[in-house]
Amino acid sequence: MDIQLLGINHRTAPLELRETLAMDGACVLALLRDIRGDAAVAEAALLATCNRTELYVATPDLPAAEAAMRRLFGRQAGDREALVATCAYLRSGEDAARHLLCVAAGLDSMILGEHQVLGQVRDAQSRAQEAETLGPLLYRLWSTALHTGKRARAETDIGMGAVSVALAAVSLAEHVLGDLRDRRVLLIGAGDTCRLVARHVADRRPSRLWVANRTVVRAAAVAEAFGGEAIGLEDIEGVLAEADMVISATRAPGFVITGDMVRRAVAGRDPRHLVLVDISVPRDIDPAAGAVEHVSLFSIDAVRTLVDRSLAHRLREIPRVDAIVDEECGKLLAWTRGHGATSVVRDLAERFERVRAEEVRRNLKHFHPEEEAYINRMTKTLINRLLRPPVTQLMSGMLSPTVESARLELLRELFALDHTTHPSQGGRGTA
């Protein structure tokens, strides 16, 4: 049994293919149950996010499993099936396992060290369990990946700092204001950037959130998604007097907030700090606003500086995360090799027990029951003691896969284990 991965991500596939292979929970469950019906697939799990779709299987037949995986991706892609062949990557064994560990650790994300991916890996495990396609091999792989991701974030700074413009804008405001809980926040704009800002702000539970836009309907869509209130651009000045923090990201041709608007807003309220973060080009906020007392103004340059510093810090953490991935991958491979030796250990123990039982029956015809029981116990103990060293070695998983495989095959040949028939296998033997 081996692990195989077929996938696409933001580095290998254009948006139109990623959109085609994007799946909701119900689609993931249906796909997993579909491929589990293939004879070459023993276990399956699917990691589906906005930036990647990766199908993992446990299989005794790598070529047949690959064909099944590609057929499934092709059906899902529809008229873009030809793109799958050029954009998908195929990995097997240690390469497939290491890839998932790197994903969980944040090393393969669009934003290095992002936290969201660890939850997505956890969701993928839950869906595979719900679909009843997560067997012992993939369960161990997924558990190791989650543990690796947690270690990477606990033991390194791979997730520290703000490496997106949206998060950096919020982080700058936090640096001045402290905790944003119970603060009043005004967002100006309703595009993708402002939506991301709104998500980060909402996570911090402000007491009030306004979303302003020239088109109030678009502002309402963002506000409704994150528990805010929609207003028009003409209402901004009235809100400024109440706000603690303003983040603006529009494409307006002139200033949306002037220096005079800020001066009037600050003059009409208790002296408390107002943070303005302008992430627009051209600028939305008059630079003169930064000269007003109790006002801090940050431009897009300040935001990008923070992003660059945070990203540089995360990049320096990559070797430390790689070391964690190496360690956890080594443990996983050792377990996998030990798990692969289970059938040989079972067959070896059964062969010794069968020989012991036959010899005992042949030679105990004239013994009393008490003597027979004693000899049975003694011979079982002898067999267990003889088998303990080789079994311990077989299950250690400390050798390379090539050496381990050769050793297991040699044991099967030496003890004729391939001729053993097991009731658990429905009488199927390999003669």
The beta strands (E) that lie in 171-303 are given as 184-188, 208-213, 229-232, 245-248, 274-278, 295-298
Q: Of these residues, 27, 50, 102, 194, which one is catalytic?
A: 50
> Helices (DSSP H) in 22-92: which residue ranges?
25-36, 62-77, 81-87
Residue 43 neighbours by CB under 8 Å, 6+ apart: 36, 57, 58, 133, 134, 135, 136, 137, 138
Q: Copy the structure tokens of residue 167.
A: 């998060």
Q: What whole-number distance in Å separates Cα of residue 350 and Cα of residue 342?
A: 12
SS3 assignment, position 25: helix
For residue 136, whether the previous peptide bond is cis, meaning omega lies within 30 degrees of 0, is no
Is the separation of the CB atoms in 35 and 44 below 8 Å? yes
Chain centroid to CA 201: 24
Angle (CA) 197 126 60, round 5°: 125
Angle between helices 216-225 and 192-203 (to 10 degrees): 30
Annotation marks residue 50 as catalytic: yes
Q: Which is nearest to 70 in space by CA: 51, 55, 49, 52? A: 55
Concatenated DSSP letters of 80-146: GHHHHHHH-EEEEHHHHHHHHHHHHTTSSSSSTT-SHHHHHHHHHHHHHHHTT---HHHHHHHHHHH
Q: Copy the structure tokens of residue 132.
A: 């009843």
Is the separation of the CB atoms in 131 and 48 below 8 Å? no
Angle between helices 342-363 and 300-340 (to 10 degrees): 20
Q: Copy the structure tokens of residue 32.
A: 């997993």
The catalytic residue positions are 50
